[in-house]
Amino acid sequence: MENKKRVLFLCTGNSARCQMAEAFLRRHAGDRFEVHSAGLEPKGINPYTKQVMEEIGYDLSSQYAKGVGVYLGKVHFHHLITVCGDADRNCPTTWPGVTQRIHWPFEDPAAFEGSDGEKLAKFREIRDQIDRKIREWVILTA
């Protein structure tokens, strides 16, 4: 793992967007990056997150919601990527070792209100946006 750059995806609840990003980056470039995620106020992984990821062949059973305290001051990250405005605004401004801080403003699918079908559609939409962004970023950081 010494040659891998560490990446931390950060959002508020660590229940949807960060979990998706963590899984996608691990699959697309896990040979190059050590991938983690955390939340400012972790809530557990949203069941819709698990469902929409399983639909495309991702098993999130080894992932769990973590708070930033698990990492802050204990693990050095090369890349800190916030995936929601709340995390970007409220994230500690100084992270030891971070060489690149990025903000990707994805809509929170967990905040979407509607029927089960509409909620699933929103989670799928955000999932696909995150997958595209991860793939683009992997190419840019090659």
- Domain assignments of the chain as residue spans, ordered by start: 5-140
11 in catalytic set: yes
18 in catalytic set: no
Where does 5-140 sit in CATH, by number?
Answer: 3.40.50.2300
Which member of 8, 10, 11, 53 is catalytic? 11
Residue 111 CA to residue 134 CA, distance in Å, equals: 22
Which member of 84, 110, 130, 134 is catalytic? 84
* Percent above pLDDT 70 for the chain: 91
Closest by CA position to 60, among listed 29, 17, 103? 17
Taking 70 as the pLDDT cut, the residues of the chain under it are 1-2, 87-88, 90-95
91 in catalytic set: yes
Count Cβ atoms below 10 Å from residue 5 Cβ, excluding itself.
15
Q: Is 60 helix (H, G, I), strand (E, B) or coil?
A: coil
CA angle 32/37/41 to nearest 5° reads 170
pLDDT at residue 92, as a whole number: 60
Residue 34 CA to residue 31 CA, distance in Å, equals: 8
Which member of 91, 110, 126, 134 is catalytic? 91
pLDDT at residue 52, as a whole number: 98
Q: Which residue, chain included where needed, has tokens 């040979």? A: 31
Phi (first) and psi of residue 37, to 5 degrees:
-145, 155
